[in-house]
Amino acid sequence: MTRPSGDSAIFILTGAGISAESGVETFRDKGGIWSKVRLEDVATPEGFARDPDKVHAFYNARRAGLSSALPNPAHRALARLERDFPGRLTLVTQNIDDLHERAGSNDVVHMHGELSRSLCGHCGAKADASAALSTATACHACGREGGMRPDVVWFGEMPYRMDEIYERLVEADLFVSIGTSGAVYPAAGFVAEARSAGIRTLELNLEPSEGTFLFDEARHGPATALVPAFVEAVLAGVPAAGRPR
- Axis-axis angle for helices 73-84, 223-236 (nearest 10): 20
Q: Provide the b/e sequence for 162-192 (b: ≥16 CB within 10 Å).
A: eeebeebbeebbbbbbbbbbbebeebbebbe
**The CA-based dihedral angle spanning residues 85, 66, 208, 183, taken in that order and rounded to the nearest 10 degrees:** -100
What string marks each residue from 86 to 115 as x (binds ligand NAD by CB under 6 A) or -?
Answer: --------xxxx--------------x---
Residue 36 DSSP class = T
Residue nearest to ligand NAD (CB): 17
Q: Which is nearer to ligand NAD, 15 or 228 (CB)?
A: 15
Q: Which is nearer to ligand NAD, 162 or 183 (CB)?
A: 183
16, 42, 129, 194: which one binds ligand NAD (CB under 6 A): 16
| 122 counts as catalytic | no
Q: Could you tell me the smallest distance in angstroms from the CB atom of residue 208 to ligand NAD?
A: 8
Residues from 147 through 206 that contact ligand NAD (CB under 6 A) = 179-181, 183-184, 205-206
Q: Which is nearer to ligand NAD, 148 or 187 (CB)?
A: 187
Long-range contacts: 219-223, Cβ < 8 Å, 24+? 222/21, 223/17, 223/18, 223/20, 223/21, 223/72, 223/74, 223/178, 223/179
Q: Indicate which residues carry an active-site annotation.
A: 112
Q: Which residues contribute to the site for ligand NAD (CB under 6 A)? A: 15-17, 19-21, 24, 26-29, 32-33, 94-97, 112, 179-181, 183-184, 205-207, 209, 222-223
